[in-house]
Amino acid sequence: MKSYGNGGIWDFEAKIPVDGDGGVILGLDGGTTSTVCVCMPAAMPVVAGRLPEPLPILSRAIAGCTNHNSIGENAARETLEKVMAQALSDAHASRSVVRAVCLAVSGVNHPSDQERIQDWLRAIFPSHVKLLVENDAVAAMASGTMGKLHGCVLIAGTGTIAYGYNEDGRKARAAGAGPILGDWGSGYGIAAQALTAIVRAHDGRGPQTKLTYNILKSLDLASPDELIGWTYADPSWARIAALVPVVVSSAEDGDEVANKILHHSALELADSVKAVVQRLSLCGEDGKGSFPLVMVGGVLEGNKGWDIGKEVVNHISKVYPGVQPIQPKVEPAVGAALLAWNCFMEELTN
């Protein structure tokens, strides 16, 4: 084991006993905005096939972005290692008692991404530790299905992705390629369209909109001309996406442009889910079967007059009436931990 360029972040282990009562599991959900790592006991009682409620969480650590496409691979690795070390330190556990780790991180889009991160993890954890590396959408799905991989998940936060598994273990995804390649329906996509609408209105190329006054006021800017400097001073995805509540409130106030942006976004999100459902035949040959749709992310949360999540489900149900929306009871990091726990238990019983 070694530290990957993070100095003495593992020094706390010298003060922790090597023996652990059954060991621990780490689950990590890494997004474009923030990263959460939870530590759970590996020995959890299962009664009639059900886990305890509430689930025992030994510790929870929070860090910033860990998407290597957004901040670079070295910065992402450094943040990942620090947040895992913090979770273990807070749980008074060392790497020697870790039984399984699931890293579910945005930006993991190809087997080569998984292999690279697994190799890096293998240098940090003992050889007995079961290691899983997935896209963060997988943790989000597991948070709604309590660790089972079947159905579809739709994430719509700063970015967006639809991800699914069928009963044969086949998986498919739609969207999730980042803002440059068109993550329409994401927080970034919604806010970017709003900023574009302001510029178009200012130029005379588009209709006037309440977005101009509302967004300029929220940013403490005097003129649409100042948007250019504000945008490119720090074009980080999360900073742009933070404007979504202003777009929603403008739509609720009757602004036609804002409403059009949200309606288009709901259609885009629904199309992503429908593409995954079709490719995996989640509804059977006749399209009438049922499937769970786990819905995660700030964009999908309901507001007073605008509920994007509800609009998305309405669009999907017109084609696939068996859709069963699920609002997770646990956060995605716990979903990742449950995936790791399931793998650990399967290995024990086989």
Q: Are residues 232 and 301 in the same domain?
A: yes
Identify the weakest region by mean pLDDT among 4-18, 183-197, 331-345: 4-18
Sign (positive or negative) of CA dihedral 158, 162, 167, 168:
negative
How does pLDDT run across 53-90, given as a tens digit for each residue?
A: 889 999 999 999 888 877 888 888 899 999 999 999 99
* 171 found inside a domain: no
Which of residues 154 and 113 earns the better pLDDT score?
A: 154
* 74 found inside a domain: yes
Q: Are residues 319 and 340 in the same domain?
A: no
Sign (positive or negative) of CA dihedral 332, 337, 343, 346:
negative
d(CA 102, CA 227): 40
Q: Are residues 104 and 231 in the same domain?
A: no
Q: Scanning the structure block, which residue is given the tokens 């593409």?
A: 275
* 165 found inside a domain: no
Q: Are residues 245 and 296 in the same domain?
A: yes
Q: Are residues 264 and 196 in the same domain?
A: yes
Which CATH number covers residue 54? 3.30.420.40
Band (pLDDT 50/70/90 cuts) for residue 7 is low
Band (pLDDT 50/70/90 cuts) for residue 147 is confident
What's the whole-number average pLDDT of the chain? 91
Q: Are residues 297 and 205 in the same domain?
A: yes
Q: Are residues 190 and 305 in the same domain?
A: yes
Sign (positive or negative) of CA dihedral 16, 18, 20, 25:
positive
* 159 found inside a domain: no
pLDDT at residue 76, rounded to an integer: 87
Nearest partner of 187 among 313, 37, 300, judged by Cα? 300
Residue type, 140: A
Q: Are residues 251 and 337 in the same domain?
A: no
Q: How many domains does the chain have?
A: 2
How does pLDDT run across 190-238, given as a tens digit for each residue?
A: 999 999 999 999 999 999 999 999 999 999 999 999 999 999 999 788 8
* 160 found inside a domain: no
Q: Are residues 224 and 311 in the same domain?
A: yes
Q: Are residues 41 and 86 in the same domain?
A: yes
Q: Are residues 204 and 86 in the same domain?
A: no
Residue type, 91: A
**Cα 128 from chain centroid (whole Å):** 28
* 92 found inside a domain: yes
Nearest partner of 11 among 77, 99, 94, judged by Cα? 94
Band (pLDDT 50/70/90 cuts) for residue 349 is confident
| Predicted confidence (pLDDT) at residue 162 exceeds the cutoff of 60 | yes
| Predicted confidence (pLDDT) at residue 4 exceeds the cutoff of 50 | no
Q: Are residues 295 and 227 in the same domain?
A: yes
Question: Domain of 272?
Answer: 179-326
* 226 found inside a domain: yes
* 172 found inside a domain: no
